[in-house]
Chain A
Amino acid sequence: MIPVFLLFFRRLLFAKRTIFFGAIAFLPCLFAIVFRAHPPHGVDALEMLRKFLAPIALVFLGVLFPMFFGTTAFGDEIEGKTIPYLLTRPRRRLAFLLAKTAAVVLVTSLLLSAGFLSAAAILQGADPFAAQQAIPIGLGVCGVLFLACLAYGCAFILLGLAVPHPVLWGLLLSFGWEGFVAAIPGQLKAFTVQRYLEGLLTDVCGLQGEIFEGMPIERDPPGPLACVAVLLALAALFTALSNRVLRRRDFAV
């Protein structure tokens, strides 16, 4: 599986799309620079990192990146008509799926982590408290971003394989279902990926009972272990479904 992964990883890392998203990944740095240049009254650097940059990275970028990379993961090989070179080798289709998934998760989480850790590094020098905590919090958020890329990446790879116009469906799922349901009171939110990511984020950022800026975060989210377990289980479920689709799918290229 390693040669397959290396092929996909290298191609994804140097794709034009990655350069574009690489620039977007550093959006938190822009906010951090503006914060350092013009510190707003009554907001310290850590608050900026925990309550503003971390939610942006998770709720916006943590969904957007896996969506664009995941939905196009197999589409690139299908539209590029290179998939026959792969599927006519003595390898199970599952190996290609796992390699693609690993490449998508690694590239997206590397991009997002690089952007967020850079922002944390910029904020680190803002005040003595930030100097001590910015990087540890940044690393914790990177862990949550990795799980976001894993769970969403697997979901969007499944979409890319199973439905036509997967980007459109991906947008609907990301900013429709995940965003819309979050605003509805009741237990429906248990059926979103976002709930478990937010649960982890509140734990990592030490924000239990607090409200993120502009985000309807639950006051009593599931515990971190339960969140990790659910996210891993969702990733496994989506991968199993993708494998089923991939095994039965026709490739008329």
Chain B
Amino acid sequence: MSPPVVFVRGLSKWYGEVIALSDLSFELAPGIAGLLGPNGAGKSTLFRLLTGLLRPSLGEVRLFGEEVEGNPPLFRRVGYCPEADAFWEEMRALEFVRTLARIHGYGAREAKERAGRALERVKLADRGKRRIGGLSHGQRQRLKFAQALLHDPDLLLLDEPFNGMDPVLRRETMELVLSLAAEGKTILVASHVLYEVEALTERILLLLRGHLRAEGSIADIRDLLDEVPRKLVVATPDPRGLAAAAAPRDGVVAVRREKGRVALETDRPEEVLRWITQAAASGEVIVEEVYAADEDLESIFDLLVK
């Protein structure tokens, strides 16, 4: 049986007394996995450990069954797109990728061909002769992506690859990630935006304050939310009446009245939602709209961290 593409066991990293990552264990097989977490959760630290830029304080990292530390040949199979918007600004886009291809070990002709193909793949071929300093943020993101692709790696580590991209570009890049996964590659994508990851994969690693808080599907993570109070927002022309009716009900933890709406905190969202629907139908309260205020990732993070 072949080893997992990514194998992490008991991985911790600390700087002095600051713990950046604590006791992470997971495995990845071919396909896309999303690494979710708010800024500062430890996503980039994990990528740096996976790429050998950092040494673990404790624990083990293996890629394709091999130790990362002191194993440069491993990077023939690994492509890394870092988060930092950093380049040798004076270079042209094609020159940047070609230079990295040369450093990777390809001859001059092959490096040029691979650089051209990589830029084509990220739809940046027409900007190859532009100076990097003159590229837009989205184009710079794609350039980072191109350098990670140039050697056709089996494992792609993408740290916030969609940052700064407009919606069209983001969709195109997501399609590219999906097509790479369809080719059999293993891809770990870090993001702090839930819908970006949802659009790519069901497989999620949720990182919060250096801890792996959840691992599984998006549904698993949503199930986690049942364990913490949720917030429902009810738009109504009579916030005072609705707040008075909701406050004594079981499952309602807190009520906050705002202009034109009431925010209900509940540990039984489905039950409370059912009551709102019935009360509105019977005329007990007037309801214009009901929505969950915490379906975005930041809110989920907030909830899980509390």
Q: Which A residues have a C-beta under 8 Å from some C-beta of B? A: 3-4, 7, 11, 14, 80-93, 247-248, 250-253
Closest A residue by C-beta to B79: A88
Selected interface stretch from B51-59, B211-219, B220-228: B51-59
Contact with A along B124-148 (1 / 0, CB 8 A): 0000000000000000000000010
A85-B82, A248-B55 known; 18 new pairs, CB 8 Å cut-off, are A7-B99, A82-B86, A82-B88, A84-B48, A84-B80, A85-B100, A89-B72, A89-B75, A89-B105, A90-B73, A91-B72, A91-B103, A93-B72, A250-B54, A251-B54, A252-B15, A253-B53, A253-B86
Q: Closest residue to A87 on the B side, CB-wise?
A: B53
User: Which residues on the A side are within 8 Å of B104 (C-beta)?
Assistant: 89-90
Q: Is the CB of A14 within 8 A of B90?
A: yes
Identity of the chain A residue whose Cβ is nearest the Cβ of B87 in the assembled complex:
A82
A90 close to B74 (CB less than 8 A): yes
B82 touches A81 (CB 8 A): yes
Q: Which residues of A contact B9 (CB under 8 A)?
A: none
Query: Which residues in B have their C-beta under 8 angstroms from that of A14?
Result: 90
Question: At the interface, yes or no: B84 with Cβ under 8 Å from chain A?
Answer: yes
By a CB distance below 8 angstroms, the chain B residues around A4 are 103
Taking CB atoms, residues of chain B closer than 8 Å to A83 are 53
> Across the interface, which residues of A come within 8 angstroms of B102, CB to CB?
3
B70 contacts partner chain A, Cβ-Cβ < 8 Å:
yes
B76 at the A/B interface (Cβ < 8 Å)?
A: yes
Least Cβ–Cβ distance between B96 and chain A, in angstroms: 9
Closest chain B CB from A125 CB (angstroms): 40
10 residue pairs A–B, Cβ–Cβ below 8 Å: A7-B99, A84-B84, A85-B82, A87-B51, A88-B51, A88-B80, A89-B103, A90-B104, A91-B105, A247-B70
B103 near A86 with CB under 8 A, answer yes
Name B77's closest neighbour in chain A (CB-CB). A90
* B93 interface hit (Cβ, 8 Å): no
Which residues of chain A are near B87, meaning CB under 8 Å? 82
Q: Which residues of chain B have a CB within 8 Å of any CB of chain A?
A: 15, 45, 48, 51-55, 70, 72-76, 78, 80, 82, 84, 86-88, 90, 99-100, 102-105, 147
Q: How far is the CA of A250 from the CA of B78 in the complex (A)?
A: 19
Q: With A and B bound together, what is the CA distance between A14 and B89 in angstroms?
A: 13
Bound CA span A67–B224, Å: 56
Distance of A253 Cα from B103 Cα, bound (Å): 20
Contact assessment for A84 and B82 in the assembled complex, using a CB-CB cutoff below 8 Å: yes
Cβ distance A121 to chain B, nearest Cβ, rounded Å = 32
Query: Of the candidates B51, B70, B75, B86, which one forms a contact with A90 in the assembled complex, judged by CB atoms under 8 Å apart?
Result: B75
CB contacts (< 8 Å) of A80 on chain B: these are 86, 88
**Residue of B73, B78, B86, B90 with most chain A CB atoms under a 10 A cut-off:** B86
B100 CB → nearest A CB, Å: 6
Does the CB pair B54–A92 fall under 8 Å? no
- Option from A84, A90, A247, A251 in Cβ contact (under 8 Å) with B105: A90
Q: Identify which of B51, B55, B72 gathers the most chain A CB atoms within 10 Å of its CB.
A: B72
Of chain B, the residue at the smallest CB distance from A4 is B103
A residues within 8 A CB of B52? 87-88
Residues of the A chain whose Cβ atoms lie less than 8 Å from the Cβ of B73: 90
When distances are taken between beta carbons in the complex, the residues of chain B under 8 Å from A86 are 103
Do B55 and A84 touch across chains, with their CB atoms under 8 A apart?
no
> Closest residue of chain A to B104, judged by CB?
A89
In the complex the two chains form, is A11's CB within 8 Å of B48's CB?
no
Q: Which residue of B lies closest to A92 (CB)?
A: B72
Residue of B nearest to A80 (CB): B86
Contact of B100 among A11, A89, A93 (CB under 8 A): A89
Residues of A within 8 A of B100 (CB): 85, 89
Instruction: Write out the residue numbers on chain A whose beta carbons fall within 8 Å of the beta carbon of B78.
Output: 88
Cβ-defined contact, B99 with A252, below 8 A: no
Q: Are B86 and A252 in contact (CB under 8 A)?
A: no
Measured CB to CB, the nearest residue on chain A to B47 is A84
Is there contact, CB below 8 Å, between A81 and B84? yes
A247 proximity list for chain B (CB < 8 A): 70
Q: Which residues of A contact B51 (CB under 8 A)?
A: 84, 87-88
Q: Which of A11, A84, A89, A251 is close to B88, meaning CB atoms less than 8 Å apart?
A: A11
A137 to chain B, nearest CB (A): 38
Out of B48, B75, B105, B147, name the residue touching A252 (CB < 8 Å): B48
Whole-angstrom distance between the alpha carbons of A93 and B103 in the complex? 12
CA distance A86 to B102 in the complex (A): 11
**Which chain B residue lies CB-closest to A14?**
B90
Closest chain B CB from A135 CB (angstroms): 36
| A85 proximity list for chain B (CB < 8 A) | 82, 100, 147
